[in-house]
């Protein structure tokens, strides 16, 4: 049995159920929240001030590992900030820690993705920050398609069908990429990934899938990147 800790934005309604769907049957998921309503660079920066308190509270539950489950919140200040975040959360909880942005790059590397398309619910400000981060991390971002949403509860109201339609409209049926990344831990997309992969013929990874896979690796849990199991 493993206790999995999540540090999530207060308005996130997707990470917990999707992590529970992927977690082994004998594992449990426990979340602590940081204040966030609007997904903008300024608000994400302010939210980060609550990360240490959230991690400290999770340590009271004696979690076996912790994930900072916010994509743009963990890439906001580029590469280096992500590794510092993991180190600090691990120190505070006394357990292995992962941050979604780094988890995504590890998952894409595992799948041998070099050129990718990115689909997000975000406004252009965050799309550009994400493009810069992924490029700095060594990936060729062929395209990035955002929905222009700022209110996080509106993002959480999107459905897996919305995600599948966005991937389809953004890439068509024959994309010239090695993989697709569906960004945002509050974008309900997990159950749409297999259909997207089947249509496109390339790996399709979401923020929550990558984060759970990465955390599972740290804890010796059997979590597969293959969406056919979802």
Q: Which two tokens mark 84?
A: 């510092």
Alpha-carbon distance of 1 to 24, in angstroms, equals 8
CATH architecture for the domain at 111-206: 3-Layer(aba) Sandwich (3.40)
Domain ranges of the chain: 3-102+209-229, 111-206
CATH architecture for the domain at 3-102+209-229: 3-Layer(aba) Sandwich (3.40)
Q: pLDDT (tens digit, 9 = 90+) per residue, 73-99?
A: 999 999 999 999 999 999 999 999 999
Please give the model's pTM, rounded to 2 decimal places: 0.95
Which residues does 154 contact at the CB level (< 8 Å), separation at least 6?
A: none
Q: Which helix (H) or strand (E) holds 51?
A: helix 51-59
Q: Which two tokens mark 213?
A: 């896979």
Q: pLDDT (tens digit, 9 = 90+) per residue, 21-51?
A: 999 999 999 999 999 999 999 999 999 889 9
């Amino acid at each position: 049995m493993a206790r999995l800790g999540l540090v999530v934005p207060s308005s996130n309604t997707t990470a917990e159920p999707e992590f529970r769907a992927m977690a082994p049957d004998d594992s449990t998921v426990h979340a602590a929240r940081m204040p966030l309503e609007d997904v903008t660079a300024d608000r994400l920066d302010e939210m980060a001030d609550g990360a240490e308190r959230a991690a400290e509270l999770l340590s009271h539950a004696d979690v076996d590992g912790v994930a900072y489950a916010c994509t743009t919140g963990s890439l906001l200040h580029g590469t280096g900030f992500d590794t510092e975040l993991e180190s600090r959360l691990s120190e505070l909880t006394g357990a292995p820690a992962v941050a979604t942005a780094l988890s995504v790059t590890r998952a894409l590397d595992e799948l041998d993705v070099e050129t990718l398309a990115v689909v997000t619910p975000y406004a252009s400000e965050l799309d550009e920050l994400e493009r810069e981060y992924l490029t700095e991390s060594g990936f060729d971002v062929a395209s990035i398609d955002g929905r222009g949403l700022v209110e996080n509860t509106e993002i959480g109201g999107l459905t897996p069908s919305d995600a599948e339609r966005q991937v389809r409209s953004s890439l068509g049926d024959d994309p010239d990429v090695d993989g697709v990344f569906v960004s945002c831990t509050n974008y309900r997309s997990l159950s749409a990934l297999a259909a997207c992969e089947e249509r496109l013929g390339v790996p399709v990874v979401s923020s929550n899938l990558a984060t759970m896979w990465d955390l599972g690796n740290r804890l010796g849990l059997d979590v597969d990147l293959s969406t056919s199991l979802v």
